[in-house]
């Protein structure tokens, strides 16, 4: 029998704008994030205006979704490493679509309850954890290693664009069709995202199966965390990300109070300020690839934090009147910082971690840095009550800037670029 040579994929285009598979992936995820932003507005409105839910019941909707990041993130990494990522992502999208679709159906049947809303939020939260871990592990199978930073930069714009477009779109749809029917947009977006994944031509490598008896779940989970904490750079990146999340959440927790009670803005003006702030994330995400090539793919990690983090000190300088612009410039700079930093540090993690461990590492890192968010929210409330809103914003702004010191005082300070990773051939499906 004559052996046939394996079929390899044609070289990936040098520009991601001409990379069919990446553009398909990016488009599907952008539409999905936009649909989720629509539901961010519609779901609480259903609870308040349709079900007359209490303040506690409405807050539990957010808690039900976020709890998944603390409860299932670590085992999710183990499962992602053992499975085909694209198959798992498609399944998560279809489950989320079905779950969200039950809300308008129950509403039309007159059977919608807060219990159902909580269950849907929890189920969608669990699927989101699995999807996001798999998503970061799947990207290296779609683009070349030297394209990862540019790809992550473009993907980081997705959230910012979705927040601007999705919330605005959601407001119009809720006014036209009602909040419950508007949730169908989110359900449909998950189906579109699943279809986009199925249209990607490149196949991913087979999951690595360990030789001998399969390790215990606890040992598999600890392997990802151990890799992060033993790595001289990754442990500093995790510390910087957690610190950034704590102090940024302090600012977010007090932003609306600051804008309304201190700067005396109207609700419409508050919405404009929040939308303008996300513009920095769009610009930063799109520019991250070019900036990294000019400054250095490793150096940009600490340069983004220390070079843009100071802009947050402008936020507490704002006063009623024209100097509200200080808040706008500060939050715009912060959004750009987050987009550039996240694209760079995620790309570093994807290149430095062995592929068979990437899911567990990603899940472990997300468990730590997302776990910092509720700490920041509580800290914002405590300090805001004790010190005052403006004074707390000063403390938080210094904390955001100082988070960059973790990575500055690390081996990254002496590196310009990542070490070239070992490239694996990508087979054509």
**Where are the alpha helices (H) located in 296-354, listed in sequence order?**
299-308, 325-352
Query: What domain range includes position 115?
Result: 16-198
Give Cβ neighbours of residue 284 (< 8 Å, ≥ 6 apart).
153, 156, 157, 335, 336, 337, 338, 339, 340
CA atoms within a 13 Å half-sphere pointing along the CA-CB vector of 44: 17
Least confident residue range of 191-205, 378-392, 415-429? 415-429
CA atoms within a 13 Å half-sphere pointing along the CA-CB vector of 215: 15
Least confident residue range of 9-13, 313-317, 399-403? 9-13
Q: Tell me whether residue 158 is in a domain.
A: yes
Looking at residue 315, its pLDDT comes to: 93
Distance CA 36, CA 59 (A): 17
Give Cβ neighbours of residue 132 (< 8 Å, ≥ 6 apart).
366
Domain count, the chain: 2
Domain with residue 348: its CATH number is 1.20.1250.20
Same domain assignment for residues 155 and 255? no
- Flag whether pLDDT at 427 surpasses 70: no
Q: Tell me whether residue 141 is in a domain.
A: yes
Same domain assignment for residues 164 and 295? no
Q: What is the mean pLDDT of the chain?
A: 82
Query: What would the mean pLDDT of 1-6 be, rounded to a whole number?
Result: 41
Looking at residue 8, its pLDDT comes to: 45
pLDDT digits (tens, 9 = 90+) for 243-293: 999 999 888 878 878 888 888 887 667 767 777 777 788 888 888 888 888
End-to-end CA distance of the chain: 23
Same domain assignment for residues 190 and 132? yes
């Amino acid at each position: 029998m004559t052996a046939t040579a394996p079929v390899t994929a044609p070289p990936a285009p040098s520009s991601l704008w001409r990379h069919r598979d990446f553009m398909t992936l990016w488009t599907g995820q952008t539409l999905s994030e936009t649909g989720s932003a629509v539901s961010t507005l519609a779901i609480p409105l259903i609870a308040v205006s349709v079900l007359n839910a209490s303040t506690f019941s409405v807050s539990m909707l957010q808690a039900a979704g976020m709890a998944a990041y603390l409860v299932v993130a670590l085992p999710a990494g183990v499962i992602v490493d053992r499975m085909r990522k694209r198959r798992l992502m498609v399944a998560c999208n279809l489950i989320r679509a079905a779950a969200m679709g039950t809300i308008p159906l129950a509403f039309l049947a007159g059977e919608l309850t807060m219990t159902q809303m909580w269950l849907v939020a929890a189920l969608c939260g669990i699927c989101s954890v699995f999807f996001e871990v798999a998503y970061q592990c799947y990207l290296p199978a779609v683009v070349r290693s030297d394209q990862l930073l540019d790809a992550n930069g473009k993907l980081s714009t997705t959230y910012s664009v979705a927040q601007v477009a999705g919330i605005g779109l959601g407001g119009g749809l809720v006014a036209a069709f009602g909040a419950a029917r508007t949730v169908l947009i989110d359900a449909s977006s998950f189906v579109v995202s699943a279809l986009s994944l199925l249209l990607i031509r490149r196949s991913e490598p087979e999951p690595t199966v360990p030789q001998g008896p399969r390790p215990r779940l606890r040992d598999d989970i600890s392997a990802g965390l151990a890799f992060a904490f033993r790595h001289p750079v990754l442990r500093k990146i995790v510390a910087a990300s957690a610190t950034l999340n704590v102090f940024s959440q302090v600012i977010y927790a007090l932003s609306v109070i600051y804008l309304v009670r201190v700067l005396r803005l109207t609700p419409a003006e508050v919405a404009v300020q929040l939308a303008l702030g996300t513009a920095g994330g769009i610009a930063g995400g799109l520019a991250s690839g070019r900036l990294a090539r000019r400054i250095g793919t490793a150096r940009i990690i600490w340069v983004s934090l220390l070079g843009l983090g100071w802009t947050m000190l402008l936020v507490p300088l704002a006063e009623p009147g024209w100097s509200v612009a200080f808040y706008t410039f500060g939050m715009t700079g912060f959004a750009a910082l987050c987009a550039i930093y996240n694209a760079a540090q995620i790309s570093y993690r994807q290149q430095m971690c062995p592929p068979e461990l990437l899911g567990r590492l990603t899940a472990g890192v997300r468990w730590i840095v997302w776990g910092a968010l509720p700490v920041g929210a509580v800290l914002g409330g405590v300090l805001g009550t004790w010190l005052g809103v403006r004074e707390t914003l000063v403390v938080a702004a210094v904390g955001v800037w100082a988070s960059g010191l973790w990575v500055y005082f690390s081996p990254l300070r002496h590196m310009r670029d990542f070490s070239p990773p070992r490239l694996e051939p990508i087979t054509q499906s």
